[in-house]
Amino acid sequence: MAFDIDMIKKVYSQMAERVDTAREVVGKPLTLSEKILYNHLWDGKATKAFTRGKDYVDFAPDRIACQDATAQMALLQFMQAGKSQVAVPTTVHCDHLIQAKQGAELDLKRANDVSSEVFDFLASVSNKYGIGFWKPGAGIIHQVVLENYAFPGGMMIGTDSHTVNAGGLGMVAIGVGGADAVDVMAGMAWELKFPKLIGVKLTGKLNGWTSAKDVILKVAGILTVKGGTGAIVEYFGEGATNLSCTGKGTICNMGAEIGATTSTFGYDDSMERYLRATDRNDVADEANKVREYLTGDAEVYENPEKYFDQVIEIDLDTLRPHLNGPFTPDLATPVGELGAKAKENGWPLKVDWGLIGSCTNSSYEDLTRAASIAKQAVDKNIKSKSDFGINPGSEQIRFTAERDGILKVFEDLDATIFTNACGPCIGQWERSDRKGDEKNTIVHSFNRNFSKRADGNPNTHAFVGSPEMVAAIAISGRLDFDPMNDTLLNENGEEVKLDEPKGLELPPLGFDVKENGYVEPVKDGSKVEIVVSPTSERLQLLTPFEPIGNEIKGAKLLIKAFGKCTTDHISMAGPWLRYRGHLDNISNNMLIGAVNAFGKKTNFVKNQLTGEYAGVPDVAREYKAAGIKTIVVGDHNYGEGSSREHAAMEPRHLGVAAVIVKSFARIHETNLKKQGMLGLTFANEADYDLIQEDDTINFLDLNEFAPDKQLTIELVHADGSKDTIKVNHTYNQAQIDWYNEGSALNLIKKENAS
């Protein structure tokens, strides 16, 4: 039986009336995305048609999910909101703080020892406020959500950018910062700019070596890392219904890599099969009652150009397997063409590691397809040329895969089975075979491959592919290996060819698990105590931010970031994850990965007070101590990647008043607003070039800060010359109120106290 079945029934019971009303108000057939959005309006039934990409709309999400790295700050904020219990079903999943090193048993034991303070804090806060808690080792948040909580037609938010994975079960599931989650936990509306809509029509059927992963790798190559910004991607067509539910999840998961608000698929037979296989017959039965409302209207899919802002068509019959990378997930190359490109660019052809798992590709189907390749290597006496690491998606997946002999296949190939956790995908990997900055290549089935992402080495060239392709290439040890056409030399000196992968959509014997790792909260948490030591290095109670104010004069340039500046550059993960609950300590990693446009070095900026160069956090602290506000300048798609609000909270904590860029990634821009900062874009992108290293910055009309009104900034250069530039913003009045109060949380506390 499903969690929260009464909530799910309520969503379905109102859906027909609300969607029918919305269709009348809008005056045309509706996409699935629109049906879900209009069914979750905070004010109930629709009374007006919203303009895509323009209107801010209040929504009422059905549930929230948080992972342990982001949950710390989210719950620290919620503790200040003055509420006794969360207003909507909420879960916390411990999957980020487990380092992959020796194997599941030893790694999990070490994590429980090293991070016990954090796990105990999360467990006690969850128990106090009515939050479901998933223990370390229970699984990766998004796989656990897909198996237990996602439901067709639902709307959820999560404090992780890959919350979008739940689109594989027909949800509108959106990654947010912790402050957004706090709003909903506190019983308030959640605001989102009504998304644009991108339709992806899939025809045909996957075959051979091509997998669902290749669909999104292809889409990423088409749309790039910012092509989906501000949009929901809705997949439809015969090809969509031919995909498995977990395959759909994989596609939606990596929608985060194109900047999409989320991605989704209409409810179909594969979703029903998955619901029933994961012991949710009750959800499937309810969904079937409103089946026509859980997919787009027929007219929409027959004439998609009339109803979507952009339409892409992909023929699965002819789609080729891809490997994307290195250093960016949208650099798409069909397998077979990678060798020439690698030689041209100097990418190492020798592959040292193949990593399978992560929230993107760790389902039963994924493991069986990869295992079918691994078994061939064992049976055909082929010795793997690369090391293997496997991260099952959940304890249910791991237990079932072990029962069915799938894990033994990998172990026969000398693979290391890591904990059911994120591991190398988020930099939680103690890699024994590499040190320093040695140039090397790895292949993995993860979603991101930014510089330093997996192992902290800026010269690790990471390529993203399907689990079965990762297995084949890792076995060959060559980046230019094409399993569809090339042969391998086995231990007997024979040339052998790998057969096409075979997989199972669902386990023939059903899923099974002895202990899934879930802890139900007590009904009355009023007596639960939460203790945070004032001397803790891991946890720190929050102090409310003071308003920045409507006069910013004499501010100094902190850093002008050059090129790609993701949330990994702004607030690195890996070893820094240990400080996610301690704002002051983790602020010591602020922008240390960003490349300074002046000198092209990382973590090396000029201190205008002394004329000397030092690390970004050190210089920021000196300006803050002197009472001087600072400004950060950036390039396109600033804040791409993870939802981590630390990338906004750290600059706020260290005295940054404004971030001015050519363009923002959606979640990061919202996070800046939530923390009471200015997130601004150049009205003229060329003005980025006017910013000089010794600039002093004055805001000339911030006292007139208002929706749809440009702001004017004066740049005072070291030689006394000046430039005046215009900057744009997307703040509405509610968001300006956040700024004026110092943060969105300050406003929540004020409203709760009144």
Q: Domain coordinates of the chain in residue numbers?
A: 5-36+55-315, 322-496, 552-753
For residue range 41-63, what is the model confidence (pLDDT) as tens digits? 999 999 999 999 999 999 999 99
pLDDT tops 80 at residue 434: no
Give the Cα separation of 53 and 308 in Å (integer).
12
Percent of the chain with pLDDT over 70: 100
pLDDT (0 to 100) of residue 82: 81
Tell me the pLDDT tens digit for each residue of 644-654. Answer: 899 999 999 99
Share of the chain above pLDDT 90, in %: 94
Is the model's pLDDT at 435 over the cut of 80?
no
CA-based angle 355:275:281, to the nearest 5? 150
Question: What superfamily would CATH give domain 322-496?
Answer: Aconitase, domain 3 (3.30.499.10)
pLDDT for residue 752 is more than 80: no
- Which of 4, 160, 180, 480 is the catalytic position? 160
Q: What's the pLDDT at 642?
A: 80
Residue 696, SS3? Answer: strand
Q: What is the mean pLDDT of residues 536-555?
A: 96
Is it the case that residue 577 has pLDDT exceeding 90? no
Mean predicted lDDT score pLDDT of the chain: 96
- Whether pLDDT at 223 is above 80: yes
pLDDT at residue 644 in the model:
83
Cα torsion 518, 64, 448, 320 to 10°: value is 90
Catalytic residue among 644, 653, 666, 668, which?
644
Alpha carbons 158 and 339: distance in angstroms, whole number: 39
- Beta strands across the sheet bearing 332-334: 332-334, 322-324, 460-464, 440-444, 351-356, 387-390, 416-417
Look up 695 and say whether it is catalytic: no
Catalytic residue among 18, 96, 369, 444: 96
Helix or strand run (H / E) with residue 753: helix 744-753
Q: What is the pLDDT of residue 112?
A: 96
In this predicted structure, what is the pLDDT of residue 80?
86
**Which one, of 402, 350, 664, 352, lies nearest residue 509 by Cα?**
402
642 in active site:
yes
Q: Among residues 95, 404, 482, 635, which one is catalytic?
A: 95
The reply to whether 636 belongs to the active site is no
Find the mean pLDDT for residues 422-430. 93
How many angstroms separate the Cα of 585 from the Cα of each of 576, 590, 617, 653? 9, 10, 11, 11
Q: Which residues contact 692 (CB under 8 A, 6 or more apart)?
A: 557, 715, 717, 718
- Cα 275 to Cα 2: distance, rounded to the nearest angstrom: 9
Peptide bond connecting 326 to the previous residue in cis, omega within 30 degrees of 0: yes
Which ranges of 330-390 does DSSP label H, i.e. alpha helix?
A: 338-345, 364-379
Whole-Å CA distances, 114 to 117, 233, 240, 425, 538? 8, 40, 44, 20, 11
pLDDT at 509: 98
Q: How confident is the model at residue 1 (pLDDT cuts 50, 70, 90)?
A: low
Out of 451, 466, 571, 642, which one is annotated catalytic? 642
- Torsion sign across C-alpha atoms 150, 156, 160, 162: positive
Q: Which residue among 93, 162, 398, 448 is the active-site one?
A: 448
Distance CA 224, CA 330 (A): 5
SS3 608: coil
The pLDDT tens digits of the residues spanning 503-518 come to 999 999 999 999 999 9
Pick the CATH number of 552-753 from 3.40.50.2300, 3.40.50.1980, 3.20.19.10, 3.40.50.300: 3.20.19.10
Confidence of residue 149 (pLDDT cuts 50, 70, 90): very high
Query: Residue 394, SS3?
Result: strand
Structure tokens at 746: 């300050």
Residue 444 falls in the annotated catalytic set: no
Q: What is the pLDDT of residues 677-715, one digit of tens each?
A: 999 999 999 999 999 999 999 999 999 999 999 999 999
∠ Cα 260 262 266 (to 5°): 130
Catalytic residue status for 437: no
Which pLDDT value is given to residue 484? Answer: 97
pLDDT at 561 over 80: yes
Q: Is 432 a catalytic residue?
A: no
Q: Is the dihedral of CA 374, 378, 384, 387 positive or negative?
A: positive
pTM for the model: 0.90
Give yes or no on whether 5-36+55-315 and 322-496 have one common fold: yes
User: What distance lies between CA 90 and its chain's CA centroid?
Assistant: 18
Identify whether the C-beta of residue 556 lies closer than 8 Å to the C-beta of residue 628.
Answer: yes
> In degrees rounded to 5, what are phi and psi of residue 20?
-60, -40
- Tokens at 289, concatenated: 């009652």
Superfamily of domain 5-36+55-315, CATH level 4 = Aconitase, domain 3 (3.30.499.10)
What one-letter code names the amino acid at 79?
A: M
Per-residue pLDDT band at 575 (split at 50, 70, 90): confident
d(CA 42, CA 50): 14
